[in-house]
Chains A and B, each alone.
Chain A
Amino acid sequence: SQQGEEDPQALSIQEGENATMNCSYKTSINNLQWYRQNSGRGLVHLILIRSNEREKHSGRLRVTLDTSKKSSSLLITASRAADTASYFCATDRQGGSEKLVFGKGTKLTVNP
């Protein structure tokens, strides 16, 4: 079962623009992670934010976490064509039997 829901399901932007993806989840978490997947290949870990953190940065990535709203957002600044991929949020649920629970992802297309 999906813990998270990403929004939007698909996003198309021009190079240089910022891309924002949102993730909502249902239960209390230990941490939330964002992954990128290129065209049916393996997942690449982007960033992990713990439940006691509110914001984290890594290069052009900025992740926020609002545990009161059970939501997170991933911002990619100054997008490049190489950022075209599917982006997934995954939660490590408190007391959960799963290792990680993934949302269905946002498919980002960055047009050159």
Chain B
Amino acid sequence: KAGVTQTPRYLIKTRGQQVTLSCSPISGHRSVSWYQQTPGQGLQFLFEYFSETQRNKGNFPGRFSGRQFSNSRSEMNVSTLELGDSALYLCASSAQLDTQYFGPGTRLTVL
């Protein structure tokens, strides 16, 4: 099976812009989770989608949002970008409740 794919792999934006990141889970996986990784805060959970519904949400401002489509693909959106949003954004999919399989990540740089 193909692994989790994320597009784009690298992105440069300026403050105030918005960005959309995409994640395609492993075939058959219905749960998709998003994480933000920064040197200062480490890996932090953003949200989880299951069957097109947000099932869990981390402690991030409303500028961070996501959605999941009927084919389990997911997108996350960050509006009004701030410098502190520069990070590696990781997507993970899982079939059951346990093991998560991560994609390669999208490196977002906000200038």
B56 within 8 A of A: yes
Main secondary structure of the interface of B (DSSP, over half): strand
Residue among B33, B88, B99 making CB contact with A40, cutoff 8 Å: B88
Stretch at the interface among B14-22, B62-70, B71-79, B101-109: B101-109
Residue among B33, B42, B99, B107 making CB contact with A104, cutoff 8 Å: B42
Structural contact, A99 and B45, CB atoms closer than 8 A = yes
Q: How far is the CB of B101 from chain A (nearest CB, A)?
A: 6
Q: How far is the CB of B23 from chain A (nearest CB, A)?
A: 11
Chain B residue, CB-CB nearest to A45: B99
Chain B residue, CB-CB nearest to A90: B43
B27 within 8 A of A: no
Contacts of A103 in B (CB 8 A): 42
The range of chain B's interface size is 20 to 34
Structural contact, B105 and A42, CB atoms closer than 8 A = yes
**Using an 8 Å CB-CB cutoff, how does the interface string of A26-41 with B read, 1 for contact, 0 for none?**
0000110101000011
Structural contact, B42 and A97, CB atoms closer than 8 A = no
Structural contact, A102 and B98, CB atoms closer than 8 A = no
CA gap between A90 and B88 in the complex, in Å: 17
A48 within 8 A of B: yes
Contacts of A33 in B (CB 8 A): 98-100
Q: With A97-B58, A101-B45, A102-B43 in contact, do A92 and B105 touch (Cβ < 8 Å)?
A: no
CA gap between A99 and B42 in the complex, in Å: 15
CA gap between A40 and B109 in the complex, in Å: 14
Most chain B Cβ neighbours within 10 Å, of A40, A42, A90, A105:
A42
Structural contact, A100 and B33, CB atoms closer than 8 A = yes
CA gap between A30 and B98 in the complex, in Å: 9
Within 8 A of B (CB), among A40-67: 40-45, 48
